Structure 1
Amino acid sequence: MPVVLAHKWLLITSLSLSLVGLLVQVQIPNLVRIGIDAALVAKTASLTRYVWLIAAFAVIQGVINYLARRYLLRTAYEIEYDLRNVLYSHLVRMPFGFYDKVQTGELMSRSGSDIRAVQMYLAFGPAILVQCTIAIFAFVLMLSINVPLAIVAMAAMPVVAVLGVYARRAIFPVSWLIQARLARIATTVDENVNGVRIVKAFATEQRQLTQLAGEADRLRWAYRREAEIRSWWSPTLESLPRLGLALVLLFGGWMVIDGHTSVGTIVAFNSYVLMLQPPFRMLGMLIMLSQRAAASAQRIYEVLDTKTDIIDGTVSAPLRGDIFFDHVGFEYPLGTKALHGLTLRVHAGETVAIVGRTGSGKSTLGRLLARYYDTTSGAVRLDGRDVRDYRLATLREQVGIVPDEPFLFSLSIRDNIAYGRPDAPLDEVVNAALAAGADAFIRELPKGYDTVVGERGYTLSGGQRQRIAIARALLINPPVLVLDDATSAIDVTVEHAIHAALKDLMAGRTTLIVAHRLSTIALADRVILVEDGRVVADGTHRELLATDPRYAAVLAEISEVSDSDSADDEVALA
């Protein structure tokens, strides 16, 4: 309702014009009646006068209908525009946990075909109802001409109304099923397109095609079921008003023979009955539109009614970078427990490496720090204040995170690096790329910094994507930087060059490094060993290596994974 009311004057103008057009339209059969009776039967008036009047009314109706249609379509597009913005603005407020539980294809379907179904109904539903009011106008005029014949002509209308209610009940569940199965197909296509490299790598194209065909078959069954329902109800709803033609001819003919009415009246009544057919044809379409829109609206409400558990704070203060994880416990939305009362302090300007086995909870620390998720228990504090007190925009502008799987947009490399600062001058973009070790390979590309990368950056290697992601984080110059295994896809020689640049950039900056390589630990002032979601050791690399066998065991496992890098790592750590 708020979306419709936002465009009420546009919609009212369209509906008012449609109403005026109907008033003009219903006058034409009456003019035909008068013209036949006066000019042809009684021969007391000129036929030419009525011909010109009818032509003038037709032209006026055409102009009015043109304007009404134009404003109606404009209303439809405005409503669709608003609905998409409402849904998208809600989606961008949703926390990471929401996206852990929903499928991309489902959201695409709800923001695409579901919104279109609601838009069609909101825009065209009122217009169809206005068109159906022609029955009222026609009935009033028929009553003014001949009451018994008017009642006979409209005798089928109550039956039409009852059948419309039954048709509505029959179509709704099928409409819901259609929208749900459209969403399943969208999900399947989305996963196959995004995962096409895996599909081809395992030669499972035929299996995926079979899966898609299965989903399409289920959708086809739903469409067939809808077609069966519509093929029964729609012709019935359309045909009933036509019975009025036979009744008018039968009873009207008797009345003409008995001298109770005129031939012109029968012609006019036939025209009025014919006028009722398009509205009732549209009434069948309105029932279909309303049920599909109702199903789609419920699916959209499922998203809009999902409340975010990440509530924006009010503090906008600049950060120094003093971090304190205060007995933090955390469980992911799907039930995976990541942290169990973890306590850790990182002083402002300190560089700390987080080391641990896979699944120990290392990456979760950065996600909680930037409030991608909120803690299940305990608190994460920045500069002595709970991160939940900060405005999300302020917090995320000052906590830069480089993930291990960087995402690049289908934009130029310059735009990808400047994503956090779109107005950044080229020299700053280049400096960030230099610090990330990306400038050399960027300049070798056909258009340099203006080269557009493919979807998700797949036209670049994994290491190149990571370097661009590092440059993107460095450009915003955050006081807190989280490198989540950000150099895992970069060869050791290039990594050492990046580390040399990062050492200068990390001076005075609080940095958390999730380390899966021994060489990365060389950047850190301290090393934290995390195990089962808890800090089990804290110290320098040499201290932990000498005193804690668990640390040595984790390093041994890391070395087994990356034997080719071990010699360089030992040199870096030395």
Structure 2
Amino acid sequence: MSRRAPRASIDPDVGKSWLRRALPLVKAHRALLITSLVLSFAGLIVQVQIPNLVRIGIDRAIVDRTAQLGTYVWWIVGFALLQGLINFAARLYLLRTAYELEYDLRNIVYTHLVRMPFGFYDRVQTGELMSRSGSDIRAVQMYLSFGPSILVQCLIAVVAFGLMLSINVPLAIVAMATMPVIGILGVTMRKAIFPVSWMIQARLAQLATVVDENIQGVRIVKAFAAEGRQLRTLAESADRIRWAYRQDARIRSRWNPLLDNLPRLGLALVLLVGGYMVIDGSTTVGTIVAFNSYVLMLQPPFRMLGMMIMMGQRASASARRIYEILDTPSEVVDGPDPLVVPLRGDLAFENVSFAYPNGTPALDGLNLRVRPGETVAVVGGTGSGKSTLGRLAARFYDVTEGRVTIDGHDVRSLSLASLREQVGIVPDEPFLFSLSLHDNIAYGKPHATRDEVITAAVAAGADEFIRDLPDGYDTVVGERGYTLSGGQRQRVAIARALLVNPPVLVLDDATSAIDVTVEQRIHASLRDQMRGRTTLIVAHRLSTIGLADRVVLMEAGRVIADGTHASLLESEPRYAQVLAATISSDSSDSSGGGPPTSSTRAADAGVAAK
């Protein structure tokens, strides 16, 4: 089933109220909404006729005995059935409107989220986004769809008042005497409840963040036996929400009884004044019964009016939280006329400086060129800026100064979709979806055949372990792929990138979790795959460096040495130091022993040079 685009969007004018900004969305579904509201109003017209029939039946059939009581009974039954049918249709269209609005709201928010660059996600918590994409959207949807319906229900007061005026003007005024007071109380309640509604939504988002981090990081929590500490953190967040809900409850308990019971005061006044009028002969018993029914009929709409006020304040708070996301512009967007061109892979970094959104510097006047079809290994210590190169090449971030070009085109002039289709990245911590292995590998090429998927898996060294699984390529991996080992996830990620066959490939320490023996087999395959392809390898292992035609040494965001592995080993002491640290780490990981001696490092480096 194809995805339907939202029929409208939120008005971008931040100077307007939240409701006026949401009106284009409501107008896009006005046919359904208006149909629902017209049917609701028709149901009200039918509903208010029933007390009038009761009045006429009592006065004519019981008091005056000039008509048959059964006639009015059947009329009342008929009107009740008609009202039920109308209300059924009205509810059906109203719910359809609500679901359509929710569908569009979710798509608008999600579409904006997927356009946001990495920098946005670096500073925003996942739980916050989940809350705003869930409960906040539902709060806005409820008000936009059910708010107009409640207002129509409140129109029963107008219709009923009109009928009461046509029956008995003084008694009608008495019955409606409490309504202005209800209006004043409603406005006062709205002002009191807004800040609490905002607080509730914000604290729900904080709780969602705590839950999300505990679920995502459950392995770390258990590894450090920190369950008790995390439960206390959750309890503290829940306590803050409980306090906010208590404030909300205090406001409701203060105002709702007044809003609910003032119409009952009107009922008492009708009985009192109407009773005297019956005694005086200026009205009938049937009129008092009808007026009592009308006053009772007014209670649910005014109770719903109080609910709508609270819904409105919660929707207002939620809408502002949603608009905070939608009003955040993406720093990484297509230019006015983005280029869509096939790339050969002539990758260049020209005097590039870059700092992450939190201010962490990564590159400082870096210059580097990777020619088409060349394989370059990037080596350096932690924080030297190695991984940043691939992120800038795929334009996950924009440079602070300088420019990144491919085939002479500044990446900012290229279409984002076209660029990322042609720059494949395999991160050191690959993410797998809760899909089958076939679908995970074919993620960048959804219509790939099974043979194409298998070919990519073979090249990445993943085919063997996949075939050993119970369902083979149809095996569904757990969330984030945690049912697989780290090395297996990396191999699937490599296969995913190779299947797309991009002209530029970035391997960001993509084999760090793979066994050395398996890695050697993968490298043999990758040599064929990298032939004619521009490849940038962020390397920590000597075996990975061996894949490269050229090695670049980075330090503090700059290229400080460039050459072959052998030439750098002979001429650049800092390169030898980085390799020694790498060998030390690899030796410790593989043997479980202490760091190698200086003679061991020299011997390993000598073997690597050969």
User: Smaller-chain TM-score range?
Assistant: over 0.9
- Alignment match, 1:388: 412
Q: Name the counterpart of 1:429.
A: 453
- Alignment partner of 1:524 out of 534, 548, 551: 548
Indicate the residue corresponding to 2:85 in structure 1.
63
Aligned-partner residue type, residue 432 of structure 1: A
- Cα gap change, 1:282 to 1:570, in 2 (>3 Å): farther
Deviation at 1:457, TM superposition (A): 0.9
The match for 2:537 is 513
2:506–2:537 CA contact under 8 A, matched in 1: yes
SS at match of 2:282: coil
Does the CA contact (< 8 Å) of 2:36 and 2:89 recur in 1?
A: yes
1:521–1:573 CA contact under 8 A, matched in 2: no
In structure 1, what residue type is equivalent to 2:583? S
Q: Which residue of 2 aligns with 1:122?
A: 144
Instruction: Look up the match of 1:371.
Output: 395
Task: Report the equivalent of 1:499.
Answer: 523
Q: Output the amino acid matched with 1:24.
A: V
**Does the 8 A contact of 1:406 with 1:465 survive in 2?**
yes
1:571, distance to aligned residue in structure 2 (A)? 4.4
- In 1, distance between residues paired with 2:531 and 2:607? 22
1:28 to 50, 56, 62: 50
Give TM-score, length-normalised by structure 1: 0.98
Q: Identify which of 244, 253, 258 aligns with 1:222.
A: 244
> Which range moved further: 309-318 or 558-567?
558-567
Aligned to 1:346: 370
CA distance in 2, matches of 1:116, 1:334: 32
Amino acid of the structure 1 residue aligned with 2:448: A
Equivalent in the alignment of 2:6? none
What is the distance in 2 between the residues matched to 1:51 and 1:456? 66
- Partners of 2:605 and 2:394 in 1: how far apart? 30
Across the aligned residues of Structure 1 and Structure 2, the Cα RMSD in angstroms comes to 1.2
> Is 1:41 equivalent to 2:63 in the alignment?
yes
Aligned counterparts of 1:194 and 1:38: Cα–Cα separation in 2? 73
Structure 1, residues 467-522: CA drift from partner, whole Å, max 9, x if none?
Answer: 11111100011100000000111121111111111111111000000011111111
Structure-1 residue corresponding to 2:444? 420
The equivalent of 1:270 in structure 2 is: 292
Query: What TM-score does the superposition give when structure 2 sets the normalisation length?
Result: 0.92
Cα distance in 1 for partners of 2:427, 2:107 equals 29
Q: Which residue of 2 aligns with 1:483?
A: 507
Q: Which residue does the alignment assign to 2:465?
A: 441
Matching residue's letter, 1:69: R
Tell me, yes or no, if structure 1 residue 112 matches structure 2 residue 134.
Answer: yes
Matched, 1:250 2:272: yes
Contact conserved, 2:375 with 2:530, CA < 8 A, in 1? yes
| Worse-matched range after superposition: 435-444 or 33-42 | 33-42
Contact 1:522 1:573 in 2 (8 A): no
Letter in 1 for 2:224: F
Change (3 A) 1:302 1:416: same
Shift of 1:42: 2.0
* Structure 1 counterpart SS, 2:461: coil
* Paired residue secondary structure (2:134): helix
Q: Quick one: distance in 2 between partners of 1:54 and 1:328?
A: 82
**Alpha-carbon offset, residue 570 of structure 1:** 5.6
Q: Which residue is 1:100 aligned to?
A: 122
189, 197, 209: which one pairs with 2:231?
Answer: 209
**What one-letter code is carried by the residue in structure 2 that aligns with 1:327?**
N
**Cα distance, 1:570–1:203 mapped onto 2, change above 3 Å:** farther
Whichever residue aligns with residue 548 of structure 1, its letter is E
Q: 2:254 matched to 1:232?
A: yes
1:78 maps onto 2:78 in alignment: no
Aligned to 1:465: 489
Matched-pair identity in %: 73
List alignment gaps of at least 5 residues for structure 2. 1-22, 591-600
Deviation at 1:7, TM superposition (A): 1.0
Taking a change above 3 Å as real, the CA distance of residues 570 and 127 of structure 1, as seen in their structure-2 partners, is farther
Cα deviation, residue 563, structure 1: 2.2
User: What is the aligned partner in structure 1 of residue 35 from structure 2?
Assistant: 13
Greater CA drift, 180-189 or 30-39: 30-39
The answer to whether the Cα contact below 8 Å between 2:375 and 2:547 also exists between their aligned partners in 1 is yes
3-state SS of the aligned residue for 1:562?
Answer: helix
Q: Return the alpha-carbon distance in structure 2 between the equivalents of residues 538 and 572 of structure 1.
A: 17
Paired with 2:61 and 2:246, the residues of 1 have a C-alpha distance of 54
- The yes-or-no answer on 1:282 pairing with 2:304 is yes
The one-letter amino acid of 2:301's match is P
Work out the number of aligned pairs and report it: 574
In the alignment, the residues of structure 2 paired with residue 143 and residue 531 of structure 1 have an alpha-carbon distance, to the nearest angstrom, of 87
Counterpart CA distance in 2 for 1:569 and 1:184 is 51
Q: Which amino acid aligns with 1:22?
A: L
Cα deviation digits, residues 217-259 of structure 1 (max 9, x gap): 1111111211111112111101001111111111111111112
How far residue 568 of structure 1 moved from its aligned partner, in angstroms, is 7.6
